[in-house]
Amino acid sequence: MKVLSASSELFPLVKTGGLADVTGALPAALKPHGIDMLSIVPGYPAVMAALQNGIEIHRYADLFGGEVRLLRGTAKGIDIVAVDAPHLYNRSGNIYLGPDGKDWGDNGQRYGALSIAAADLASGSVAGYHADILHAHDWQAALAPVYLRFRGGPKSLMTVHNIAFQGQFPASLFGSLGLPASAFSIDGVEYYGSVCFLKGGLATADAITTVSPTYAQEICTPEYGMGLDGLLRARRNVVSGIVNGIDTGVWDPATDSSIAAHYSAKTADKRSANKRALEARFKLEPGDGILHGVVSRLTWQKGMDIFAASLDALVASGARLALIGTGEAAIEREIMAAADRHPGRIGVLLGYDEAQSHLVQAGCDTILVPSRFEPCGLTQLYGLRYGCVPVVARTGGLADTVIDANDAALNAGVATGFQFSPVDQPSLENALARAAACFEDKASWRKMQLRGMGSDVSWDRSASVYAALYRKLLNA
């Protein structure tokens, strides 16, 4: 079965978050299930540089003000079609934001082009390829199912990685999208008088998934649905949650080239060498006390404002922190100020650093994920695999993937981390205290680490669920 995956990010070519990890891992994970996945992505500079033997399979003389070519080839081992459109994608810096830190003014055109190319490729309008299923990820690819619905083509699946990002644009964009007038309606992209990419995808895709069962429930409620819950409730019978896995080849402490010392469950005591390396890297006082880790976008979604406000308490409790992140300026400032107040106790790397994020998982005792909402979350899964015990908010995929160390779970010997709710300072600080107390009991801490390291965070199970869903759509 041929599946065309359309997304704006693809690891290891281009990544700003978990979306890339997921779209990058799925092709290999689905292969054993008989799925031949081709990935279509924008021709950003990093993609064009990595593309090998790109063959032109299609050319648009003018798409949103410039010539666009579809180039098929391989890039870092992945079978891709790059949408080569220099006027839309040949820009440096963050893929979504201009130098002023705001969304590029033409994101509607940039991702409209991705969606048009994906729909044309999937539906066989481009010679030499057709897809049995189109799999669109997030708002940037969400118009692709709309084109298939209004122009014809294969069945489509729309995956929501984060409903907070919807792709809303003025109605004036509609005329340039090449859709029939009937698509500017409740059954298409119209949303309170504007054009909303994600709304269009959710209204027209044959099936909708999100990245955990709990988040699938949550987005059908006004509290989490961000205005799209009514539509999702109306389509509830085609909405499901499939929890993300991780690429256990990229994330393997036994072979990871970004960490100081390799280890496995049998040699977990070797983690201490990574702790020493991390202390040096983050300029932390060396010590055997609990060392918390954070690898995160520094945003409201991630609860990082609440976390920043808890830093004095964290240090007062005797703990230390290593944090890598980048995001909202106010949160960055608050975290840097706390690091200045507590030299040697709080180490911060402001920015995006893939290699150091592996070292945090290998060297810290805990990974903290205090998100207000979290569709799936991957850092807690990396933590489980690396013996870095997750301390997480009880929401979305965090609730589904971490087993809280309550008395019942401890007695049953199944706990893998700590959950807290609601997301506020007292309950976060309480969770940190619970983790610190458990850390003092070396034997139970080691058991907790090993249970995490032994839990299945691979793609095996979820890949077969995706494969079954594709087949169901195809045969429907």
The Cα–Cα gap between 411 and 460 comes to 29
User: Looking at 11, 18, 263, 466, which residue binds ligand GLC (CB under 6 A)?
Assistant: 18
Q: Measure CA 314 to chain center.
A: 27
Would you state the structure tokens that stand for residue 119, as one six-digit string? 């729909």
Which partner, ligand GLC, ligand ADP, none, binds residue 326 by CB below 5 to 8 Å per kind?
Answer: ligand ADP
Residue 374 interacting with ligand GLC (CB under 6 A): yes
Which partner, ligand ADP, ligand GLC, none, binds residue 347 by CB below 5 to 8 Å per kind?
Answer: none
User: Looking at 29, 116, 243, 376, which residue binds ligand GLC (CB under 6 A)?
Assistant: 376
Choose between 278 and 381: whose C-beta lies nearer to ligand GLC: 381
User: Looking at 22, 29, 243, 402, which residue binds ligand GLC (CB under 6 A)?
Assistant: 22
User: Looking at 17, 45, 86, 98, which residue binds ligand GLC (CB under 6 A)?
Assistant: 17
Residue 297 interacting with ligand ADP (CB under 6 A): yes
Contact 139, 105 (CB under 8 A): no
The Cα–Cα gap between 109 and 112 comes to 5
Contact 212, 396 (CB under 8 A): yes
Which partner, ligand ADP, ligand GLC, none, binds residue 211 by CB below 5 to 8 Å per kind?
Answer: ligand GLC
Residue 140 interacting with ligand ADP (CB under 6 A): no
Would you state the structure tokens that stand for residue 196, as one six-digit string? 């909303």
User: Looking at 353, 409, 424, 450, which residue binds ligand ADP (CB under 6 A)?
Assistant: 353
Which partner, ligand GLC, ligand ADP, none, binds residue 339 by CB below 5 to 8 Å per kind?
Answer: none
Choose between 139 and 147: whose C-beta lies nearer to ligand GLC: 139
Q: For strand 78-84 and strand 36-42, is the pairing parallel, antiparallel, or unpaired?
A: parallel
Choose between 37 and 278: whose C-beta lies nearer to ligand GLC: 37
CB neighbour list of residue 443: distance below 8 Å, 6 or more residues apart:
none
- Count of residues that interact with ligand ADP, criterion CB under 6 A: 18
Residue 211 interacting with ligand GLC (CB under 6 A): yes
Residue 17 interacting with ligand ADP (CB under 6 A): yes
CB-based closest residue to ligand ADP: 18
- Type and span of the H or E element at 21: helix 18-30
DSSP label at 367? E
Contact 294, 367 (CB under 8 A): yes
The Cα–Cα gap between 446 and 387 comes to 9
Distances (CA, A) of 186 to 119, 194, 205, 293, 345: 21, 11, 14, 45, 54
User: Looking at 6, 295, 331, 438, which residue binds ligand ADP (CB under 6 A)?
Assistant: 295
> Taking Cα atoms as reference points, which of 115, 106, 93 lies closest to residue 46?
93
Choose between 274 and 357: whose C-beta lies nearer to ligand ADP: 357
DSSP label at 101? S
b/e 369-382 (16+ beta carbons within 10 angstroms → b): bbbbbbbbbbbbbb
Residue 392 interacting with ligand ADP (CB under 6 A): no
Under DSSP, is residue 340 helix (H, G, I), strand (E, B) or coil? helix
User: Looking at 326, 427, 444, 455, which residue binds ligand ADP (CB under 6 A)?
Assistant: 326
Residue 161 interacting with ligand GLC (CB under 6 A): yes
Choose between 13 and 177: whose C-beta lies nearer to ligand ADP: 13
Given the rule CB under 6 A, which residues bind ligand ADP? 17-19, 21, 295-297, 324-326, 352-354, 357, 376-379
